[in-house]
Structure formats: structure tokens, C-alpha cells
Structure 1
Amino acid sequence: MTDYDVLCVGNAIVDIIAQCDEAFLKDHGIIKGAMNLIDVERAELLYGHMGPAIEASGGSAGNTAAGIASFGGRAAFFGKVSKDHLGGIYTHDIRAQGVAFDTVPLEGNPPTARSMIFVTPDGERSMNTYLGACVELGPEDVEADKVRGAKVSYFEGYLWDPPRAKEAIRLVAQHAHEAGRQMSMTLSDPFCVDRYRGEFLELMRSRTVDIVFANESELKSLYQTESFEQALDLVRADCRLAAVTRSELGSVIVRGEETVRVDAIDIAELVDTTGAGDLYAAGFLFGYTSGRSLEDCGRLGSLAAGLVIQQIGPRPRQNLRQEAEQAGLL
């Protein structure tokens, strides 16, 4: 029996979430719908200008790990925080969610990462992230026993920004494949794809990565095409398994010649899209590591994503296992 269903590797970030109007984004030069990397001075400036905010431990892969734990899955997380106030908040929060988190914190500077997330009335989120201690994640933080004991290891494409994290990810993949496990990634963001298109394709084509998660925009960016169907055909050839989300159109899952289309769940109100892709991956990977069909995996992903977009913040307040049982998915 494996120790974990999914090991997630990502940037350990405290999210600071506030609502704003379109004019605020324009006035502060914020690119809507993207993750913008900023320095500590810019972080302090934006923090000083934002309205009332919610602070919560976040980060893409951390959100996925928390979602898997909420479904009742066994999740672990690798991510770097500093031994400071925000680092303490992050560590407490993710452990309280039921996730195994034992990465040794950084002594001194840089401080724990934080992301100022501005949510416009249409629910779109624009992230402004100071990576801080995240950039110090390296091969020495890879716990081989956790990797070898996890059915699937999963990492966020954002990790391709800090250079030493690439070495850590390749080491995780090596341990995972030597133990007969699988490696998964999310493309994270169209701008992230633009920066690392060639490297992401190499990860897929070399089979360093077995499973890819993306949304429609990210997939089109990866293959530089406006045709979704063409992008779908290309990822089918490049990757063993891909799950692509399409907002209200649901998701499409491809594996070889197999294609599975899954509807989005009905929602009462779109509040905040922060964490939607992360929670879709959580539901999908929970189902996948439980041996469920691709359709059921997609439905679990749609449920988790649909619930999280009806609230402020990237981690669902509901118990996802109970929600899935009530929906007849478990």
C-alpha cells in the first residue's frame, strides 16, 4: 500500500485576496487574468492600495493538495516557506487541511511568498506574486521516500520560473519513474506557457511528464493555434493523458484515441475563479488514484472547481468528500 495518493510540488504562497473594479487594474498597470511576478517593493505598494482582503495559504499545487485531502485522499506537499509570520501561517493551514508538509523552512531572507489577488466583478482573478522564499526550493528539499510512496507526483508550471526548482522537479520525476509511479503537471498560465513552451513540450514528449492539466487558453498557447480541436489533437500525440478545462463548457479528457467530454456543474453565482483549475486537478487526481473511470475523474474535478468558484478564495469551505457523496459520485 502506498503512503500517498498524490504528492504536490509548488510555490508555497500566502494569498491576499481583494475585490476591485476594472479601473483599479488599469490604474495600477495590472495584466488582467494573468499571474504577474513582482518584487517586494511592488508587493508593498499594491498591498497598501488594495481594499479589505482575505488572507489564506494558497499557491496552485498547495490548493490541489488541500483539495485532495478534502476528498479524503492522502496528500503530501513540497514547498519552501521562510521561518517568519507568514511561513507559520502557511505551515499551520496546510497541515490543518490534512496534508503532509515537512519541507525545512528557510532561515532569514527572502521572506515567505505572498500573492495579491484582485478579483473583478466578472469573477476573473489577476495575481501579483512575490515569490520570496519559493525561489530557494531545490533538490535538497526532495524527500525521496514521499515521492516513491506516492501514486502520482504533480507540480505546477509556475515552478519553472525559479531556476533551482527545475532541478528539484527533474529529481522528483526520476524517483517517481524508478518506483513505477506517474508524473503530472499543470501548465498554470498562458503567460507561463509563452515563457517555457519548448521546455514544457520537451517534458511531455520525453515522457518526463505523463499527465498534463491545462485550460483552453493554455493549450492553445502551447501549440500556438486558435483552433481548440487542433490543439487537442496535438496534445493527444504528445502526452499519455491530458485533461483540458473550458470554463462553463466543462472539460475534455484525451488518452490515446479515447476522448471523454464532461459537463461543468450548474452554479448559483460566479464569485471568484481563483483556484478553479487547481481544484479540478484535485478532483481528477483523487478519482484517478482511486482507480475510477476518466469520466468519473472529470466529474469529480468539475464538482470541486464548480464549488470553489462560488466563493472568495482558492480552497473550498465544504467537505469535498461529503459533497461528492451527495452528488452520487462516491
Structure 2
Amino acid sequence: MCTDLAAANCYKVEHLKENWDLVKQAKIYFVGGYHLTVSVPAIMALAEEAAAENKTFMLSLSAPFICQFFKDQLDQTSPYWDYVVGNETEARAFAAAHDLNTEDIPTIAKHMANLPKKNTQRKRTVIITQGTEPTVIAVQGDDEVKSFPVHVVNKDEIADTTGAGDAFAGGFLAGMAKGESIEKCVDMGSWLAKLSIKELGPAYPFPKQTYSA
């Protein structure tokens, strides 16, 4: 993947404060891990607002290099995670960076779920996608690690997997905003990811489709 962060590299917490009225109105905050390379203070401002007001804070691991090379910045945010989402490669990079000595996804997810947490009114939920394999869910304090099947896509229908993780996160968040169960949120994420990988680039089909279980 080749990216150019351009103006994003200039983002400061002051830019966020300029729009703080909108921040106060939001009930769910979602942060991509890539932003850990740019403005940790902006992320922490959202995280602290979420904890203080008992709002939902969700972070995406985004890429293995975030766990490898921005470990300290990532760890600064971890007490505020209500939800954290990543794929199996990112989860294993997290495990390696934290010397967990395991590549077992349920074990890693359970460890992440039980890290110290700032807002104790909400249990942390860890979501790890695994491509064609079931999505793993670990909840803080729960012994059982659950898994949910993904939506099947025929191999000849796959055009481009770029943005599949973002699509999953978007579908999952849509379910959260509607107050759906964790099972339904995961299914909505998988459904949107399925549509995304049938298109070139991080795109979705036209005309717009409506989710159905």
C-alpha cells in the first residue's frame, strides 16, 4: 500500500478543539490507529472525553507497524478502549510487541480485553477478524472467547481486499449506533466487508444496498 498523508501530517489537537461542540454531541468516537503517527494529544482528548462522559471509544489497530513501531503511543490509549478492532496479523504484531509469546488469536484477544481500563462502567470488547476464518470476540472479564462466521464470497468474485477492514469497522459501528447486539454488529461488519472486496479499491456497490441478516 502506498499512501500520502499530506495535510493529515499537520493535524493538531487545536484543530479538534475548534470543532469541540460537534465532539460533545457525538455518542461514539472511532479512531484509526494511523492517527497515532500524527497527533496522540488529539486522540487522548477524545479518549478522556469518552471516559468522563461514559461514551463509547473505539480504536482500530490499522496496521502491524502501528503495534511494532508506535507501541508506546498505542499503549497510552489502551486504558480507554471500549472496543478495539484489528485483523489477525495486527493482533500477532501486538502480541510480539508486548512479549506475549503466543500467536493464538483467542489468547491474544483475551489478554487485550483484560488490560487495565479507565472507564469501568463499560466492559472492553476486542474484535479480531481473520479473513475467511471466523471473527474472534473477547469481552473483559469473560472466560469464553466467542467466534462468529464471516459472509462467504466466491473466489472469482473477489476484486480487491483493500479497505475490507475499514468496511468491517464501518458496518460494526453502524450496528452499534443502532443499538444492535454484538452478534448483529459483527454480522453487519462482515456483510459490508463482503460487498467491499467485490469492488476495486475501498469502494461499495451502486446502487446502495440495504443490510439483511
1:223/1:234 contact within 8 Å kept = no
**Distance of 1:199 and 1:156 partners within structure 2:** 13
Decide whether the 8 Å contact of 1:155 with 1:184 is kept in 2: yes
1 CA distance for matches of 2:7 and 2:40?
A: 15
Displacement of 1:318: 4.1
**Structure-2 separation of matches of 1:196 and 1:242:** 19
2:86/2:129 contact within 8 Å kept? yes
Conserved in 2, the CA contact under 8 Å of 1:183 and 1:210?
A: yes
Secondary structure of the residue aligned to 1:264 is: coil
Letter in 2 for 1:137: Y
Let me know the Cα RMSD of the aligned residues.
1.8
Q: CA deviation at 1:275?
A: 0.8
Q: List structure 1 segments (4+ residues) > 3 angstroms apart after TM superposition.
A: none
Greater C-alpha radius of gyration: 1
Match of 2:64 among 190, 202, 217: 190
**Are residue 233 (structure 1) and residue 110 (structure 2) matched?**
yes
**Offset, 1:260:** 3.2
| Residues 318/242 of structure 1: CA separation in 2 closer, same or farther (3 Å cut) | farther
One-letter amino acid of the counterpart of residue 244, structure 1: I
Contact preservation (8 Å) 1:244, 1:253:
yes
Q: Distance in 2 between matches of 1:229 and 1:183?
A: 22
Determine the structure 2 residue equivalent to 1:279. 167
Say whether residues 1:169 and 2:43 are aligned partners.
yes
- Structure 1 counterpart of 2:164, which letter? A
Secondary structure at 1:128 match in 2: coil
State the alpha-carbon separation in 1 of the partners of residues 114 and 33 from structure 2. Answer: 20
Aligned 8 A contact 2:47 2:77 in 1? no
Which protein has the bigger strand share? 1
- TM-score of the pair, normalised by structure 2: 0.84
Match of 2:196 in 1: 308
Stretches of structure 2 lacking an aligned partner (at least 5 in a row): 97-101, 118-123
Larger helix percent: 2
- Determine the C-alpha separation between the residues in 2 that align with 1:140 and 1:248: 41
| Whole-angstrom CA distance in 1 between matches of 2:207 and 2:4 | 30
Match of 1:123?
Answer: none
Letter in 1 for 2:28: V
Partner of 1:261: 147
Answer whether contact 2:109 2:137 (CA < 8 A) is retained.
no
> In the TM superposition, what is the alpha-carbon distance from 1:133 to its structure 2 partner?
0.8
Q: Could you give the per-residue CA deviations for residues 158-201 of structure 1, whole angstroms, max 9, x where no partner exists?
A: 11112xx2111111222333333121110000112101223323
SS at the partner of 2:29?
A: strand
Q: Distance in 1 between matches of 2:64 and 2:203?
A: 22
TM-score, length of structure 1 as denominator length: 0.56
Q: 2:93 aligns with which of 190, 215, 221?
A: 221
Contact 2:175 2:188 in 1 (8 A): yes
Q: Which amino acid aligns with 1:190?
A: P
Q: Quick one: percent identity of the two aligned structures?
A: 29
1:249 aligns with 2:133: yes
The alignment of Structure 1 onto Structure 2 pairs a total of residues equal to 195
- Report the CA distance shift for 1:291/1:167 in structure 2 as closer, same or farther (over 3 A): same
Distance verdict in 2 for CA 1:229–1:259, change over 3 Å: closer
Asked whether the equivalents of residues 66 and 74 of structure 2 are also in contact (C-alpha less than 8 Å), the reply is: no
Structure 2 counterpart of 1:211, from 66, 83, 87: 83
Alpha-carbon contact 1:157-1:187 (below 8 Å) kept: yes
Of structures 1 and 2, the one scoring higher in RCO (CA 8 A, sep 6+) is 1
Alignment partners' CA distance in 2, 1:218 and 1:134: 23
The answer (yes or no) to whether the contact 2:57–2:81 under 8 Å persists in 1 is: yes
CA distance in 2, matches of 1:203, 1:140: 19
Counterpart contact for 1:148–1:179, Cα < 8 Å: no
SS in 1 for 2:194: helix
CA distance in 2, matches of 1:318, 1:244: 28
Stretch deviating more after TM superposition (247-256 or 298-307): 247-256
**Counterpart mapping for 1:317-328 below 5 A:** 317-318=205-206, 322-324=209-211, 327=212
- SS of the residue 1:266 aligns to: coil
Check conservation: 1:186, 1:214, Cα contact below 8 A. yes
